[in-house]
Each structure stands twice: as C-alpha cells, then as structure tokens.
Amino acid sequence: MSSHVIGFVLTIGAGDFALAARLRRGGSPSANPLALALAKHTSFELSDYRPALFTVKDLRTGQRYVGPVPADLAETMARFQRGELVSDNHVFELALSSDD
C-alpha cells in the first residue's frame, strides 16, 4: 500500500506562543504552540512532536501522518522550549506522509 502525501502551510502566531507559555506556567508542561496552531487552522491534531519528527492525526478520517520537522520549525520550537520569548508570527511549510 502506498503512502498518501499531504502538504500545507501553517502559521504559528505570537498568540499561540503566548498562550502555550501561560499554560506551561499554569501547570500544563506539555502545552505546545504547534498543537494550538494546528487545532485553530486545520483538521489535524498533534499526536507526537520530537525535534526531528512529528505526527499528526486527521480528525475527519483518523489517518495519521508523519514527517520531518523543518529546520526553521525545530529552531523556533527549541527557543520556545528554552523559555525564550517568541513574540512574532512564524509560517512553516509542512510535508507529511500517511503512517500506514
């Protein structure tokens, strides 16, 4: 069975970073601006995030997709996880393959 490839552009806004930081300070250590942005702008839910690879689930079909984390997204997420202020919007191009 062949993989199904999807691609999309995702904006993680300054508000997503700010809300995730507030949630972390409020006791939710897994708060993630990527998950917040996906929930707002797509039908995908973040299933797993690692610096090199991430997985999302299509909420309409249940299909899981996996793909490499683009270098610019990895660096932005690393800054956030180090507690640095990320106060601007970031746009990322993502390409994922179905996890059959």
pTM comes to 0.85
pLDDT tens, per residue, the chain with 100 residues: 678 999 999 999 999 999 999 999 999 988 999 999 999 878 899 999 998 999 999 999 999 999 999 999 999 999 999 999 999 999 999 999 997 6
Q: What is the DSSP string of 61-93?
A: T--EEEEEPPHHHHHHHHHHHTT----S-EEEE
Stretch (H or E) spanning 45: strand 44-49
